[in-house]
Amino acid sequence: MVAVLFVTGFVSAGITAPLVGVWADQHGRKKLCLVFCLTYLFTCFCITIPYLPVLLLGRVAGGISTSILYSAFESWLVSSANTLAIPPSDLSTIFGRATLVNGFVATSAGVLSNELVSVTHSLASPFVASGALLVLGYVVIKASWTENYGGASSVTSLSGSDPFQIRRLAQAVRIVRADPLLLVIGLTQTCFEGSMYLFVFLWVPSLQEASTTFPAIPLPLGYIFSSFMVSMMLGSLFYTVVCAWAPGSPSDSSLTLHAKLSSLVCAASGLALAVSVSSREEATRFWAFCAFEACVGAYYPVQGMLRGTLIANEHRATLAALFRVPLNVFVVVSLLTGVSTARHAVLSASAVMLAVSALTTACFVGRTEDAVLPDQNHRPA
């Protein structure tokens, strides 16, 4: 049943991702971020009701929320940075620090959730607390953010005659097909984030399998999750340090540096998953998973900078969301084919895919020598 709920969320995200991206570019990224707060608040509410149809409805809303989270927020940030003429190096720092803060908050949330469940004896109590934070986020976004769109003419286009923006989506698809660099970015996103979502589904049974005391002594899942989030913070710190101290040779532009980091992150994460599969020792598997989470911490700012550099503002949210369609298809197919009963095979396949992604990035994007600054509409729309 857990797999069914997971699949429902990913199917919802896969179906709505292209529309969410288009609507963010068309009607405003800030508006979609506010919608995220409301839809995820509804998701948290549904989790408190132990009735399957309501839980499924919550997962549908959660899928929509996820599509907004991974497209509208980043698009708003990059567009606002361009408007304020923030240098790429400062934008890189913002991405790194955002991931660092996210890891810190997630670590605290893991500990707090563990304590809330212990006190309330309810697994739904952390979601109630999350609802309060979503309300706070809505208020902050509403009061302090300015609106931005995907191009100056976006809001005046004839959206009424094409509510699902099929023509705009088709144009975005043509842009991706015509640009090998964007195809590589999409491949990396599918391989890495697909592996990450499968990891989310598999890390608990994998550690339980390796534990010598389970089920007599339950695993401290909240504290293990917090350890993963600390590892993610260390990964984001690694990214920040590399960007700050990277040699400034003419051949290592911002784009080239981030492409090399993307290849390195994919290779290291694939190695971490391979180690977790090859070892049945509890400690080794735990530390391999921590290493994978450190790669996640470096991945998000790297990928955010690559998308910010390679995607023009007019289609930024649309393309960011479009990249998530094959990702969601991959995860849904994996979950439907019995991931939980073939953990080693799935993690091994993920390690191979990450290795392929690392090599592809190194071969195609890593050869790019000239940096393309985000404030220049670098990719023609």
Tell me the per-residue pLDDT of 177-218, one tens digit each, with 9 for 90 and over. 888 888 888 889 888 988 998 898 889 989 999 988 888 888
Peptide bond into 50 cis (omega under 30): no
Task: Return d(Cα 311, Cα 374) in angstroms, integer.
Answer: 8
Residue with tokens 């095979």: 345
For the segment 102-106, the average pLDDT, to the nearest whole number, is 84
Name the DSSP class of 71.
T
Which runs of consecutive H residues, i.e. helices, occur in 312-342? Answer: 316-322, 324-336
Q: Is the pLDDT of residue 1 over 80?
A: no
Which residues lie closer than 8 Å to 153 by C-beta, 6 or more apart? none
For the segment 95-121, the average pLDDT, to the nearest whole number, is 85
Task: Return d(Cα 277, Cα 342) in angstroms, integer.
Answer: 11
Task: Return d(Cα 235, Cα 92) in angstroms, integer.
Answer: 14
pLDDT band per the 50, 70, 90 thresholds, residue 368: low
Q: Determine the pLDDT at residue 355.
A: 95
pTM over 0.85: no
Tell me the per-residue pLDDT of 40-72, one tens digit each, with 9 for 90 and over. 999 999 999 989 999 999 999 999 999 899 889
Q: Mean pLDDT, the chain, as a whole number?
A: 83
Q: What is the dihedral of CA 179, 328, 297, 374, to 10 degrees?
A: 30
Q: Determine the pLDDT at residue 155.
A: 43
- Inter-residue contact 92 to 301 (CB < 8 Å): yes
Q: Determine the pLDDT at residue 251.
A: 46
